[in-house]
């Protein structure tokens, strides 16, 4: 892991984003494995519910995850204050066994705020940060702007940076040429791609092969496909609910047991689509309740799913043998 000093020392090199195979800053952070982007429990008054969070964490600690993503899209981070964001990461780090990675979402709209939030997340104990593409001025977020943004953040980050492309939420994809340039940065160790375009994931792996750069599938529906083109793991909303089966799918892929992997992958596609692009975070939190975790309500303006959506959601799990 790079320290702040090391990151500073690498700045001169990273400004030009030119680097070859060796990062030259000690062993890289191994990202391989499965991560749930954890949901944030709230009380009825929409305050953070740290007791419920802790109870969820105790359960997640029993599942062979590589670690947890705190404040990915499903953590409702756009609705948390800066203090809340940092405090949740601090508590997760304290609760989680030391060998589990904590990857903290530190993305903000401006570069300046993201740099600051990244430093705070590292101070709260994050092992790595996950930095989403800024998107409010999406028409202006071209390769030049995004390369500049991520380079500035990585230059000053005390911990390794993972790029995060999630077009369903941001309305933009991190362009491939930006990924290839940023992959050369000594403090940028990977990409979480939630877009689901398997040709793009394969190309990202192919184009960065000579580098110590790791690609993670950003959703469970294409996890096996992503492994087959060289991804090393996945950050999957569905892992909040079906963490064991997703870790099993990881194992089958890593062992090359593709037929068994395919059978399992098939059963995950419908539940995954339901808790992500079709019904989103409120549905994920509903499903968590059915599987013994604390989900509960989202922070407003997100609304609970309707009765008929809940029925369809249940059907998506039960018809695939999960309920």
- Which tokens go with 95? 């609760």
Q: Name the residue nearer to ligand LPKSKP3X (CB basis): 86 or 236.
A: 236
Would you call 139 exposed, middle or buried from its count of C-beta atoms within 10 A (0-12, 13-18, 19+)? exposed
Q: Name the residue nearer to ligand LPKSKP3X (CB basis): 159 or 246.
A: 246
CA 110 from chain center: how many Å? 20
Of the listed 35, 60, 77, 164, which one is catalytic?
164
Contact 7, 158 (CB under 8 A): yes
Smallest separation, CB 162 to ligand LPKSKP3X (Å): 11
CA atoms within 13 Å, Cβ hemisphere of 217: 31
Note the residues at the interface with ligand LPKSKP3X (CB under 6 A): 37, 69, 72-74, 166, 194, 218-220, 235-237, 276
Contact 50, 90 (CB under 8 A): no
Contact 305, 280 (CB under 8 A): no
Contact 91, 317 (CB under 8 A): no
Of the listed 77, 192, 227, 285, which one is catalytic?
192
Q: CA angle 233-3-111, nearest 5°?
A: 75
- Which tokens go with 320? 């695939």
Q: Name the residue nearer to ligand LPKSKP3X (CB basis): 10 or 220.
A: 220
Residue 188's contacts (CB-CB under 8 Å, 6 or more residues apart) are 150, 154, 160, 161, 162, 163, 182, 213
Smallest separation, CB 70 to ligand LPKSKP3X (Å): 10
Q: Name the residue nearer to ligand LPKSKP3X (CB basis): 121 or 237.
A: 237
Smallest separation, CB 72 to ligand LPKSKP3X (Å): 2
Q: Name the residue nearer to ligand LPKSKP3X (CB basis): 106 or 276.
A: 276
Smallest separation, CB 153 to ligand LPKSKP3X (Å): 17
Residue 41's contacts (CB-CB under 8 Å, 6 or more residues apart) are 48, 49, 52, 53, 56, 294, 295, 296
Residue 145's contacts (CB-CB under 8 Å, 6 or more residues apart) are none
Contact 213, 31 (CB under 8 A): no
User: What is the Cα–Cα distance from 268 to 275, expressed in whole angstroms?
Assistant: 11
Is 60 catalytic? The answer is no
- The answer to the question of whether 235 is labelled as a binding residue is yes
Is 192 catalytic? The answer is yes
Q: Name the residue nearer to ligand LPKSKP3X (CB basis): 72 or 125.
A: 72
Q: Cβ-closest residue to ligand LPKSKP3X?
A: 72
DSSP assignment of 166-216 equals -HHHHS----HHHHHHHTTSTTEEEEEE-S--HHHHHHHHHHTTTTT-EEE
Smallest separation, CB 105 to ligand LPKSKP3X (Å): 7
Annotated active-site positions, please? 164, 192
Annotated binding site for pyruvate: 235
Annotated binding site: 235
């Amino acid at each position: 892991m790079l320290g702040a000093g090391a990151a500073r020392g690498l700045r001169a090199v990273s400004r030009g984003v030119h680097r070859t195979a060796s990062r030259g800053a000690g062993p890289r952070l191994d990202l391989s494995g499965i991560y749930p982007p954890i949901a944030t429990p709230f009380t009825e008054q929409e305050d953070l519910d740290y007791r419920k969070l802790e109870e969820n964490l105790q359960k997640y600690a029993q599942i062979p995850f590589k670690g947890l993503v705190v404040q990915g899209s499903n953590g409702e981070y756009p609705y948390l204050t800066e203090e809340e964001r940092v405090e949740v990461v601090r508590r997760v780090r304290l609760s989680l066994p030391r060998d589990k990675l904590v990857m903290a979402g530190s993305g903000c709209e401006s570069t300046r705020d993201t740099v600051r939030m990244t430093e705070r997340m590292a101070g709260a104990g994050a092992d790595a940060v996950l930095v989403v593409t800024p998107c409010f001025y999406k028409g202006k977020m071209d390769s030049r702007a995004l390369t500049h943004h991520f380079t500035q953040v990585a230059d000053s980050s005390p911990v390794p940076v993972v790029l995060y492309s999630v077009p369903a939420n941001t309305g933009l994809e991190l362009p491939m040429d930006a990924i290839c340039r940023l992959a050369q940065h000594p403090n940028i160790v990977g990409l979480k791609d939630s877009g689901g375009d398997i040709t793009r994931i394969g190309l990202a792996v192919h184009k960065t092969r000579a580098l110590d750069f790791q690609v993670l599938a950003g959703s469970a529906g294409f996890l096996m496909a992503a492994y087959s083109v060289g991804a090393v793991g996945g950050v999957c909303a569905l892992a909040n609910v079906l963490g064991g089966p997703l870790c099993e799918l990881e194992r089958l892929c890593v062992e090359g047991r593709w037929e068994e992997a395919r059978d399992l992958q098939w059963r995950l596609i419908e539940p995954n689509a339901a808790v992500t692009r079709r019904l989103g975070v409120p549905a994920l939190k509903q499903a968590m309740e059915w599987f013994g975790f604390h989900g509960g309500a989202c922070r407003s303006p997100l609304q609970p799913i309707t009765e008929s959506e809940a029925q369809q959601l249940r059907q998506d799990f039960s018809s695939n043998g999960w309920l």
